[in-house]
């Protein structure tokens, strides 16, 4: 592996591996309708407004945490999401990219703000768990941040030459914490314009990542 540019490919999950943008929008829009709050009208609008921390994104949509704390809203969203994500599949280009990275001998990992058991279940269902040496997720459903997971991994793997692939500015921040290079995919949860604010390449297809390996 000494001749490889990268020893590790670190994947985000939602919107990078899993094509779940529409499932996410449907879920939050149902919650908004039930509370007489204006819904998100389009994928384009969603990609412009989605952000971390999730609490701030929810506040921006109009949820009132004095009436319903985020801790109450989060499990409602997760239940709806799991229903709406039933038909969702892999983002285009993910399987080929994982297979090619596997042939190259690059160690592949998932690092996600998704709850770990939910994450493992989806990866098995999508048929890509076998390409991953490890999966890192949270021990709760609140999706607040994965920076602490990234910090711990970096401390344990200081010699790793890693490339992070994600679809949000939070993934870029995660890559910085990992000491990793980063490529961002513009077909996920944030717009091309938002991602371009980060100091890294932005691609329109996951398979474009291969040219950086």
pLDDT at 145: 60
Per-residue pLDDT in tens (0 to 9) along the chain, 213 residues: 567 899 999 999 999 999 999 999 999 999 999 999 999 999 999 999 999 888 999 999 999 999 999 999 999 999 999 999 998 999 999 999 999 999 999 999 999 988 889 899 999 999 999 999 999 987 644 445 688 888 889 999 989 999 999 999 999 999 999 999 999 999 999 999 999 999 999 999 999 999 999
CB 145, CB 108: distance < 8 Å: no
pLDDT at 115: 84
pLDDT at 28: 97
* Full DSSP string of 46-91: HHHH--SSHHHHHHHHT--TTTS-HHHHHHHHHHHHHHHGGG--BP
CA separation for the pair 14, 30 (Å, rounded): 20
End-to-end, the C-alpha distance of the chain in Å comes to 12
pLDDT at 113: 81
In three-state secondary structure terms, 106 is: coil
pLDDT at 141: 42
């Amino acid at each position: 592996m000494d001749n490889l540019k990268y020893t590790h490919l670190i994947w985000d999950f939602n919107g990078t591996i899993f094509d779940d943008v529409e499932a996410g929008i449907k879920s939050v829009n149902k919650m908004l309708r039930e509370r007489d709050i204006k819904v998100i009208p389009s994928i384009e609008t969603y990609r412009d407004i989605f952000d971390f921390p999730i609490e701030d994104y929810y506040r921006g949509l109009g949820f009132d945490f004095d009436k319903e704390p985020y801790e109450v809203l989060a499990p409602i969203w997760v239940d709806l999401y799991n229903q709406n994500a039933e038909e969702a599949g892999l983002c285009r280009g993910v399987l080929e990219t994982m297979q090619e990275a596997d042939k190259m001998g690059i160690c592949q990992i998932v690092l996600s703000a998704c709850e770990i058991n939910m994450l493992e279940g989806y990866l098995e269902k999508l048929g890509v768990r076998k390409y991953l040496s490890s999966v890192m997720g949270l021990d709760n459903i609140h999706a607040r941040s994965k920076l602490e997971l990234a910090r711990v991994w970096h401390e344990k793997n200081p010699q790793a030459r890693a490339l992070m692939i994600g679809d949000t500015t939070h993934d870029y921040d995660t890559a910085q914490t990992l000491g990793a290079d980063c490529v961002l995919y513009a077909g996920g949860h944030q717009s091309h314009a938002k991602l371009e604010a980060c100091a890294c390449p932005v691609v329109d297809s996951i398979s474009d990542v291969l040219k950086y390996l």
